[in-house]
Each structure stands twice: as C-alpha cells, then as structure tokens.
Structure 1
Amino acid sequence: MSSRYAFTKTVKELRSFLTRAYPIMKKNNPHVPILIREGTGALPRVYARYDLGQEQTCSLEGLSDKQIEETVTSLVKPTSL
C-alpha cells in the first residue's frame, strides 16, 4: 500500500507542475511538440530529444513540483552534448 501512496504523490506533484507550467511552455515554444501520457504502472519520466538523434531521459519519481521544474529546465538549457 505504501508504494501506491508514493505513486499517487508523484502523480499529484507532476499534475501540479503541468497545470502550472504547461500553458507557459506552449506559449513560449509553440512549435515544440510536448507529449504527455499517463499509464498504469508507468514511472514518471521526461524525455528530451535533440538534433542528430540524441536523447536524454530523467526520472521524475518522488520529486516535488519545484524539483520537476528544475529537471525540465536543465534539459532545455543549451549544453554541449
């Protein structure tokens, strides 16, 4: 039962982030595709796909709303991949 609670808490934090940040992300990046999927038993993750077929994945499990924002922001900031 505790694992179910942890999953529910993660979903709550992720939904809070998406409700707050998604409209801003789409307004600032209207041509960038943002896909959101929910599935039973799926762990919360964010994927970023870059030029030349590069991809980066980060787990969002157990993160707070603010930590999720920091993780997503770190994926979109320019770096030397």
Structure 2
Amino acid sequence: MLTNSRAVFPSPSDSTALVDTRTGPPMDPIVSDHRLVDPQPTAPRPHDASMSANALTRAFPKALKEVRLHLCQTGQASAGARKFLESNYKPIKQSNPDVPFLVREASGTPARAFARFERGVEKRVELDGLSSADVEKKIGELLSSSA
C-alpha cells in the first residue's frame, strides 16, 4: 500500500476504502478531494469603480513579457496616467503577478505606455493629456494588440 501525507491509496488487490487522513471518514474513490462546487452559476458582481471589469483586470496574453509606464510626477499632462495608476495598479498586479509592470517617473517626461511581447516586439502608446478613463482604454488596446 502506497502512502503520502494526505491519503492512503489502496493497491488494486486491496479492498479497503480510500481514507482521507486529515478528516478520517471514508471518501468516495471517484472524488479526489472534498472541494465544494456550487451547482448554480454565480450572478455577476456589481460594478466596482476601483476594479473595473475590463481586459486590465484579467490575465494578460501569454505573449506579453513586460509593461512600462513612463510619466511625470507633477506635470498636468500626466495627471490622467497618475490617476489610472493609483486606481488600477493593485488589481492589475493581482490578476498578473508574474508580469513585470514597471513605473518610471521623471520630471518633464511625457506620459507613455510600452508593452514588450515575445521575440522582442515592443509597442507603445502616447498618454499625454488623456483622462484616466482614456488612459485605461489606450493601455487596454495596447495590451490586446499582442504581436
């Protein structure tokens, strides 16, 4: 009989029931664990302003290797990019923890976003003077245009 820290697995000739060593009661041999599955589909959650239901809060394309956002810390032309960053950085990183999302701040720098894809393909969009909503739309278009 093979044993690991979670369950006891019977050999083909053994007629004992599969036992979950964490809880003790016999398990159905067809079910590999005791996850509860909701048979009813869940209703969509109401819209939350801090986490919009768009392409930025879902997983990025696999071809995307890096996102860079260049902006000025104080310039009026970068205000929309700063606002976008404040409200969307956390949900983006939660959805895509392995994709580098770099922020480069420099005085007088025009707001731009760069996306680097597989095989060295890099694309960019200008964000100078745009509102936060327009910045979100432009970055969404940039990321969906995967090579």
TM-score (norm 1): 0.82
Q: Tell me the equivalent position of 2:24.
A: none
Unaligned runs of 5+ in 1: 1-6
Residue 138 of structure 2 is matched in structure 1 by 71
Q: Which amino acid letter does the alignment assign opposite residue 67 of structure 1? A: D
**1:64 and 1:78 mapped to 2: Cα distance?**
21
In structure 1, the residue corresponding to 2:102 is in which secondary structure?
coil
Deviations 1:9-40 (A, max 9, x none): 22222111111100010000000001101111
The one-character-per-residue Cα deviations of 1:42-64 (angstroms, maximum 9, x if unpaired) are 11100000001100011101111
Task: Tell which structure's C-alpha radius of gyration is larger.
Answer: 2
Aligned residue for 1:40?
Answer: 107
Query: Counterpart of 1:10?
Result: 77
1:53 aligns with 2:53: no
Structure having the higher strand fraction is 2
Deviant stretches of 4+, over 6 Å:
none
Identify unmatched segments of 5+ residues in structure 2: 1-73
Higher helix proportion: 1
Contact 2:84 2:135 in 1 (8 A): yes
- How many angstroms apart in 2 are the aligned matches of 1:37 and 1:78? 22
Paired residue secondary structure (2:79) = helix
What is the Cα deviation at residue 70 of structure 1? 0.5
Q: SS of the counterpart of 1:57? A: strand
- Matched residues in 2 for 1:15 and 1:78: separation? 23
Aligned sequence identity (%): 32
**Structure 1 partner of 2:10:** none
